[in-house]
Amino acid sequence: MGAIACCNEMSSYKITDLHIYQINRYVKYTNDYQFIPRRSPLGSLSFINNVSNNNKTKKQYLKNKKGEFILLSYDIEEQNFEEFKITFPIIKSIEGMSELNIDKKLFLCGISPKQQNEGSFLFRINLDRNGFENEEENIANVLINSQHSHIYPSLIHDKNGRILCIGGKGQIQCEIYDLNMNKWCSLPQLPNERYKCSLCLDTKGDFVYLFGGISQDNVNEKDDESNAEIKILRMNLDRLLIWENLIIKNNNRNIIVNRVSSAAFTFKYDEDFIFIVGGEDSNQNIFDNVIRFSIKNLKFETTGIKLKNKAIFANQNGVSIDEQTYCLIDNLNGIHIIERHDCLPIDYQPDEI
Protein backbone atom coordinates (compact mmCIF):
# COMPACT_ATOMS: atom_id res chain seq x y z
CA MET A 1 0.00 0.00 0.00
CA GLY A 2 1.43 3.35 -1.02
CA ALA A 3 1.69 6.48 1.02
CA ILE A 4 1.42 10.17 0.24
CA ALA A 5 4.49 12.18 1.13
CA CYS A 6 4.20 15.34 3.21
CA CYS A 7 6.50 18.36 3.17
CA ASN A 8 9.30 16.67 5.13
CA GLU A 9 9.43 13.72 2.72
CA MET A 10 9.18 15.54 -0.59
CA SER A 11 11.61 14.76 -3.34
CA SER A 12 13.46 17.60 -5.04
CA TYR A 13 11.39 19.06 -7.87
CA LYS A 14 13.04 20.85 -10.77
CA ILE A 15 10.76 23.84 -10.65
CA THR A 16 11.21 27.53 -10.07
CA ASP A 17 9.03 30.14 -8.46
CA LEU A 18 6.10 27.80 -7.77
CA HIS A 19 4.24 28.65 -4.57
CA ILE A 20 0.98 27.88 -2.84
CA TYR A 21 -0.68 30.57 -0.74
CA GLN A 22 -3.04 30.64 2.21
CA ILE A 23 -4.21 33.10 4.84
CA ASN A 24 -3.23 31.75 8.24
CA ARG A 25 -6.47 31.62 10.21
CA TYR A 26 -5.00 29.77 13.17
CA VAL A 27 -2.83 32.32 14.91
CA LYS A 28 -1.72 33.32 18.36
CA TYR A 29 -4.27 35.39 20.26
CA THR A 30 -3.29 38.61 22.04
CA ASN A 31 -5.28 41.45 23.55
CA ASP A 32 -4.47 43.60 20.52
CA TYR A 33 -4.90 41.13 17.67
CA GLN A 34 -3.95 37.66 16.60
CA PHE A 35 -0.62 37.38 14.89
CA ILE A 36 2.27 35.08 14.02
CA PRO A 37 2.02 31.27 14.41
CA ARG A 38 4.69 29.02 15.86
CA ARG A 39 7.02 27.35 13.37
CA SER A 40 7.63 23.63 13.84
CA PRO A 41 11.05 21.94 13.40
CA LEU A 42 9.95 20.51 10.06
CA GLY A 43 9.24 23.92 8.63
CA SER A 44 5.47 23.53 8.63
CA LEU A 45 3.26 25.74 10.76
CA SER A 46 1.45 24.36 13.75
CA PHE A 47 -1.74 25.53 15.38
CA ILE A 48 -1.30 27.49 18.62
CA ASN A 49 -4.13 26.97 21.07
CA ASN A 50 -3.90 29.04 24.22
CA VAL A 51 -7.54 28.52 25.04
CA SER A 52 -8.09 25.76 27.56
CA ASN A 53 -11.52 24.85 26.21
CA ASN A 54 -11.12 23.48 22.68
CA ASN A 55 -14.75 24.28 21.95
CA LYS A 56 -13.87 27.97 22.18
CA THR A 57 -10.97 27.74 19.77
CA LYS A 58 -12.98 28.75 16.71
CA LYS A 59 -13.90 32.04 18.39
CA GLN A 60 -10.26 32.96 18.90
CA TYR A 61 -9.35 33.68 15.30
CA LEU A 62 -10.60 35.26 12.07
CA LYS A 63 -10.58 38.90 13.20
CA ASN A 64 -8.46 41.64 14.72
CA LYS A 65 -8.63 45.35 15.37
CA LYS A 66 -6.52 46.40 12.42
CA GLY A 67 -7.75 44.13 9.65
CA GLU A 68 -4.28 42.54 9.50
CA PHE A 69 -3.64 38.89 8.78
CA ILE A 70 -0.70 36.63 7.97
CA LEU A 71 -0.28 35.38 4.44
CA LEU A 72 1.62 32.10 4.16
CA SER A 73 3.64 31.53 1.01
CA TYR A 74 4.90 27.96 0.63
CA ASP A 75 7.81 27.54 -1.77
CA ILE A 76 7.33 24.07 -3.24
CA GLU A 77 10.90 23.74 -4.50
CA GLU A 78 12.57 25.01 -1.31
CA GLN A 79 9.95 23.31 0.90
CA ASN A 80 9.54 26.16 3.34
CA PHE A 81 7.08 28.85 4.36
CA GLU A 82 7.41 32.60 4.34
CA GLU A 83 5.06 34.86 6.27
CA PHE A 84 3.79 38.30 5.26
CA LYS A 85 1.43 40.69 6.95
CA ILE A 86 -1.63 41.49 4.81
CA THR A 87 -4.18 44.23 5.48
CA PHE A 88 -7.76 43.95 4.28
CA PRO A 89 -9.54 47.27 3.80
CA ILE A 90 -13.23 47.62 4.70
CA ILE A 91 -13.36 44.48 6.86
CA LYS A 92 -11.70 43.37 10.09
CA SER A 93 -12.76 39.73 9.82
CA ILE A 94 -12.44 37.12 7.11
CA GLU A 95 -15.14 34.96 8.67
CA GLY A 96 -17.35 33.57 5.92
CA MET A 97 -14.70 34.01 3.22
CA SER A 98 -13.18 31.28 1.05
CA GLU A 99 -9.83 31.35 -0.77
CA LEU A 100 -8.61 30.44 -4.22
CA ASN A 101 -5.07 30.29 -5.71
CA ILE A 102 -4.80 31.48 -9.31
CA ASP A 103 -1.25 31.72 -10.63
CA LYS A 104 0.50 34.28 -8.40
CA LYS A 105 -2.68 35.72 -6.96
CA LEU A 106 -4.82 34.77 -3.99
CA PHE A 107 -8.53 35.61 -4.13
CA LEU A 108 -10.91 35.74 -1.17
CA CYS A 109 -14.67 35.78 -1.65
CA GLY A 110 -17.58 35.63 0.78
CA ILE A 111 -19.23 37.48 3.60
CA SER A 112 -19.59 37.08 7.35
CA PRO A 113 -22.98 35.84 8.61
CA LYS A 114 -22.94 38.85 10.95
CA GLN A 115 -22.85 41.38 8.11
CA GLN A 116 -26.09 42.68 6.65
CA ASN A 117 -24.96 44.21 3.35
CA GLU A 118 -26.01 42.58 0.10
CA GLY A 119 -23.49 40.70 -1.99
CA SER A 120 -20.16 39.16 -1.11
CA PHE A 121 -16.75 40.82 -0.89
CA LEU A 122 -14.11 39.89 -3.43
CA PHE A 123 -10.44 40.60 -2.65
CA ARG A 124 -7.30 40.00 -4.68
CA ILE A 125 -3.79 39.75 -3.28
CA ASN A 126 -1.10 40.20 -5.94
CA LEU A 127 1.89 37.97 -5.32
CA ASP A 128 3.89 38.50 -8.50
CA ARG A 129 6.59 40.64 -6.93
CA ASN A 130 9.61 39.37 -5.02
CA GLY A 131 8.37 39.29 -1.48
CA PHE A 132 6.61 41.98 0.51
CA GLU A 133 9.41 44.36 1.37
CA ASN A 134 7.22 47.31 2.30
CA GLU A 135 4.44 46.23 4.63
CA GLU A 136 2.56 49.46 3.99
CA GLU A 137 1.95 48.25 0.44
CA ASN A 138 0.62 44.86 1.51
CA ILE A 139 -3.02 45.74 1.12
CA ALA A 140 -5.52 43.45 -0.56
CA ASN A 141 -7.23 44.92 -3.62
CA VAL A 142 -10.99 45.38 -3.36
CA LEU A 143 -12.85 44.11 -6.43
CA ILE A 144 -16.54 44.33 -7.29
CA ASN A 145 -18.98 42.74 -4.86
CA SER A 146 -21.07 39.84 -6.08
CA GLN A 147 -24.83 40.15 -6.30
CA HIS A 148 -25.64 37.50 -3.67
CA SER A 149 -24.37 36.83 -0.17
CA HIS A 150 -22.21 33.70 0.04
CA ILE A 151 -21.04 32.44 3.44
CA TYR A 152 -18.02 30.18 2.86
CA PRO A 153 -18.84 29.49 -0.80
CA SER A 154 -17.01 26.90 -2.86
CA LEU A 155 -14.65 28.50 -5.38
CA ILE A 156 -12.98 27.25 -8.54
CA HIS A 157 -11.58 28.89 -11.67
CA ASP A 158 -11.98 27.73 -15.25
CA LYS A 159 -9.67 27.73 -18.27
CA ASN A 160 -11.00 31.15 -19.35
CA GLY A 161 -9.89 32.84 -16.13
CA ARG A 162 -13.33 33.03 -14.56
CA ILE A 163 -14.06 32.40 -10.88
CA LEU A 164 -17.08 30.27 -10.07
CA CYS A 165 -18.66 31.09 -6.70
CA ILE A 166 -20.98 28.23 -5.77
CA GLY A 167 -23.56 28.24 -2.99
CA GLY A 168 -22.49 28.60 0.61
CA LYS A 169 -24.19 28.26 3.95
CA GLY A 170 -27.94 28.67 3.45
CA GLN A 171 -27.44 29.63 -0.20
CA ILE A 172 -28.40 28.07 -3.55
CA GLN A 173 -27.36 31.00 -5.75
CA CYS A 174 -24.28 30.58 -7.96
CA GLU A 175 -22.29 33.29 -9.73
CA ILE A 176 -19.27 33.67 -11.97
CA TYR A 177 -16.73 36.49 -12.00
CA ASP A 178 -14.87 37.33 -15.18
CA LEU A 179 -11.37 38.53 -14.32
CA ASN A 180 -10.91 40.16 -17.73
CA MET A 181 -14.28 41.91 -17.87
CA ASN A 182 -14.32 42.70 -14.12
CA LYS A 183 -17.98 41.78 -13.81
CA TRP A 184 -20.25 39.19 -12.20
CA CYS A 185 -22.86 37.08 -14.00
CA SER A 186 -25.42 34.63 -12.69
CA LEU A 187 -25.14 30.87 -12.97
CA PRO A 188 -27.94 28.30 -12.59
CA GLN A 189 -29.10 27.80 -9.02
CA LEU A 190 -28.26 24.66 -7.11
CA PRO A 191 -31.28 22.39 -6.50
CA ASN A 192 -30.62 22.71 -2.76
CA GLU A 193 -28.18 24.28 -0.32
CA ARG A 194 -24.58 23.17 -0.69
CA TYR A 195 -22.04 24.16 1.93
CA LYS A 196 -18.45 22.94 2.46
CA CYS A 197 -18.55 21.03 -0.81
CA SER A 198 -15.61 20.44 -3.15
CA LEU A 199 -15.52 21.38 -6.82
CA CYS A 200 -13.49 20.10 -9.73
CA LEU A 201 -13.42 20.78 -13.45
CA ASP A 202 -12.77 17.91 -15.81
CA THR A 203 -9.53 18.06 -17.75
CA LYS A 204 -11.23 19.60 -20.81
CA GLY A 205 -12.86 22.28 -18.68
CA ASP A 206 -16.34 21.52 -20.02
CA PHE A 207 -17.97 20.31 -16.83
CA VAL A 208 -17.66 21.20 -13.16
CA TYR A 209 -18.37 18.45 -10.65
CA LEU A 210 -19.65 19.14 -7.15
CA PHE A 211 -18.89 16.58 -4.45
CA GLY A 212 -20.32 16.24 -0.97
CA GLY A 213 -21.11 19.17 1.26
CA ILE A 214 -23.90 19.94 3.68
CA SER A 215 -27.53 20.43 2.74
CA GLN A 216 -30.35 20.97 5.20
CA ASP A 217 -32.49 18.77 2.94
CA ASN A 218 -30.40 15.70 3.74
CA VAL A 219 -28.63 16.56 6.98
CA ASN A 220 -30.52 13.84 8.87
CA GLU A 221 -29.94 11.12 6.29
CA LYS A 222 -27.60 8.24 6.96
CA ASP A 223 -24.32 7.61 5.15
CA ASP A 224 -25.76 4.88 2.98
CA GLU A 225 -25.95 4.13 -0.71
CA SER A 226 -29.23 5.98 -1.22
CA ASN A 227 -27.72 9.14 0.21
CA ALA A 228 -24.84 8.87 -2.26
CA GLU A 229 -27.23 9.41 -5.16
CA ILE A 230 -27.56 13.15 -4.51
CA LYS A 231 -23.97 13.98 -3.70
CA ILE A 232 -22.61 14.92 -7.11
CA LEU A 233 -23.87 17.51 -9.54
CA ARG A 234 -22.41 18.77 -12.76
CA MET A 235 -22.92 21.76 -15.03
CA ASN A 236 -22.18 22.21 -18.70
CA LEU A 237 -20.26 25.49 -18.75
CA ASP A 238 -20.77 25.96 -22.49
CA ARG A 239 -24.55 25.80 -22.51
CA LEU A 240 -25.22 26.84 -18.91
CA LEU A 241 -28.29 24.69 -18.54
CA ILE A 242 -29.02 23.32 -15.06
CA TRP A 243 -27.25 21.39 -12.35
CA GLU A 244 -27.99 17.69 -12.76
CA ASN A 245 -28.01 14.91 -10.21
CA LEU A 246 -25.70 12.05 -11.07
CA ILE A 247 -26.92 8.69 -9.85
CA ILE A 248 -24.01 6.97 -8.13
CA LYS A 249 -24.23 3.29 -7.22
CA ASN A 250 -21.26 1.96 -5.28
CA ASN A 251 -20.88 -1.67 -4.38
CA ASN A 252 -18.39 -0.75 -1.68
CA ARG A 253 -20.31 0.84 1.21
CA ASN A 254 -16.99 1.65 2.93
CA ILE A 255 -16.37 4.44 0.43
CA ILE A 256 -18.01 7.41 2.10
CA VAL A 257 -18.91 9.93 -0.56
CA ASN A 258 -20.98 12.45 1.43
CA ARG A 259 -17.96 14.06 3.08
CA VAL A 260 -17.42 17.77 3.60
CA SER A 261 -14.34 20.01 3.32
CA SER A 262 -12.48 17.60 1.08
CA ALA A 263 -10.29 18.56 -1.89
CA ALA A 264 -10.98 17.45 -5.46
CA PHE A 265 -8.59 17.65 -8.40
CA THR A 266 -7.49 16.01 -11.64
CA PHE A 267 -4.14 15.24 -13.21
CA LYS A 268 -3.59 16.99 -16.52
CA TYR A 269 -3.97 14.10 -18.95
CA ASP A 270 -6.29 11.77 -17.03
CA GLU A 271 -9.71 12.44 -18.52
CA ASP A 272 -11.33 9.48 -16.75
CA PHE A 273 -10.76 10.31 -13.07
CA ILE A 274 -11.30 12.94 -10.41
CA PHE A 275 -9.56 12.43 -7.05
CA ILE A 276 -11.09 13.34 -3.69
CA VAL A 277 -8.80 13.80 -0.70
CA GLY A 278 -9.44 14.05 3.04
CA GLY A 279 -12.48 15.80 4.51
CA GLU A 280 -14.88 14.75 7.25
CA ASP A 281 -18.32 13.20 7.62
CA SER A 282 -21.43 14.38 9.46
CA ASN A 283 -20.08 12.86 12.68
CA GLN A 284 -16.89 14.94 12.39
CA ASN A 285 -14.75 11.91 11.61
CA ILE A 286 -11.78 13.21 9.61
CA PHE A 287 -10.35 11.16 6.74
CA ASP A 288 -6.82 10.54 5.51
CA ASN A 289 -7.63 8.51 2.41
CA VAL A 290 -7.67 9.32 -1.30
CA ILE A 291 -10.55 8.04 -3.41
CA ARG A 292 -11.11 8.39 -7.13
CA PHE A 293 -14.28 9.02 -9.05
CA SER A 294 -14.61 7.40 -12.45
CA ILE A 295 -16.26 9.89 -14.79
CA LYS A 296 -16.87 7.16 -17.34
CA ASN A 297 -18.43 4.63 -14.96
CA LEU A 298 -19.94 7.14 -12.46
CA LYS A 299 -18.44 5.17 -9.62
CA PHE A 300 -16.22 5.81 -6.59
CA GLU A 301 -13.18 3.61 -6.14
CA THR A 302 -10.53 3.20 -3.47
CA THR A 303 -6.91 4.00 -4.30
CA GLY A 304 -5.35 2.19 -1.33
CA ILE A 305 -3.22 5.18 -0.36
CA LYS A 306 -3.46 7.60 2.53
CA LEU A 307 -2.31 11.05 3.51
CA LYS A 308 0.40 11.32 6.15
CA ASN A 309 -2.29 12.62 8.52
CA LYS A 310 -6.02 13.21 8.55
CA ALA A 311 -6.83 16.54 6.96
CA ILE A 312 -9.58 19.01 6.10
CA PHE A 313 -9.35 21.18 2.99
CA ALA A 314 -11.92 23.93 3.39
CA ASN A 315 -10.42 26.11 0.65
CA GLN A 316 -9.09 23.46 -1.73
CA ASN A 317 -5.87 25.46 -2.07
CA GLY A 318 -3.80 23.37 -4.44
CA VAL A 319 -1.53 23.65 -7.48
CA SER A 320 -0.21 21.27 -10.11
CA ILE A 321 3.54 20.83 -9.79
CA ASP A 322 3.54 19.05 -13.14
CA GLU A 323 1.28 16.56 -14.92
CA GLN A 324 2.43 13.85 -12.48
CA THR A 325 2.20 15.64 -9.12
CA TYR A 326 -0.29 17.75 -7.20
CA CYS A 327 0.31 19.83 -4.05
CA LEU A 328 -2.33 20.75 -1.45
CA ILE A 329 -2.32 22.79 1.76
CA ASP A 330 -4.83 21.82 4.45
CA ASN A 331 -6.66 23.88 7.07
CA LEU A 332 -3.82 23.60 9.57
CA ASN A 333 -1.23 24.65 6.96
CA GLY A 334 0.07 21.12 6.39
CA ILE A 335 1.49 20.32 2.95
CA HIS A 336 0.45 17.19 1.04
CA ILE A 337 2.12 15.98 -2.17
CA ILE A 338 0.09 13.51 -4.26
CA GLU A 339 1.68 11.45 -7.01
CA ARG A 340 -0.32 10.43 -10.06
CA HIS A 341 1.05 6.87 -10.29
CA ASP A 342 -0.17 6.13 -6.73
CA CYS A 343 -3.75 7.15 -7.54
CA LEU A 344 -4.47 5.32 -10.80
CA PRO A 345 -5.75 1.73 -11.17
CA ILE A 346 -3.04 -0.89 -11.60
CA ASP A 347 -4.33 -1.88 -15.05
CA TYR A 348 -4.81 1.70 -16.24
CA GLN A 349 -2.88 2.27 -19.47
CA PRO A 350 -1.58 5.82 -20.11
CA ASP A 351 -1.83 5.32 -23.87
CA GLU A 352 -5.61 5.06 -23.45
CA ILE A 353 -5.76 8.71 -22.41
Alpha-carbon gap, residue 26 to 68, rounded angstroms: 13
Q: Which CATH number covers residue 282?
A: 2.120.10.80
CA distance 262 to 212: 8
Q: Does residue 340 lie in a domain region?
A: yes
Residue-wise pLDDT for 150-172, tens only, equals: 999 999 998 888 999 999 999 99
210 neighbors 196 (Cβ within 8 angstroms):
no
Q: Which positions ≥6 away from 239 have C-beta within 8 Å?
A: none
Angle ∠(238,240,244) on CA atoms, nearest 5:
115
pLDDT one-digit tens code per residue, 287-313: 999 999 988 888 888 898 999 899 999
Give domain status of residue 135, yes or no.
yes
Residue 252 has pLDDT above 80, yes or no: no
Catalogue the long-range contacts made by 34-43 (C-beta closer than 8 Å, 24 or more residues apart): 34/60, 34/61, 34/63, 34/64, 35/64, 35/68, 35/70, 36/70, 36/83, 37/70, 37/83, 37/333, 39/81, 42/7, 42/8, 43/7, 43/8, 43/79, 43/80, 43/81
Model confidence band, residue 14 (pLDDT cutoffs 50, 70, 90): low
The larger pLDDT score, comparing residue 246 to residue 305, is at: 305
Widest CA span in the chain: 60
> Is residue 312 assigned to a domain?
yes
What's the number of domains the chain is made of?
1
Find the domain containing 36 and state its range.
5-345
Q: How far apart, in whole angstroms, are the C-alpha atoms of residue 45 and residue 249? A: 40
Residue 353 lies in a domain: no
Within-domain flag for 161: yes
Residue 193 within any structural domain of the chain = yes
Residue 351 inside a domain? The answer is no
Asked if the structure places residue 232 within a domain, the reply is: yes
Q: Assign 61 a pLDDT band (cuts: 50, 70, 90).
A: very low
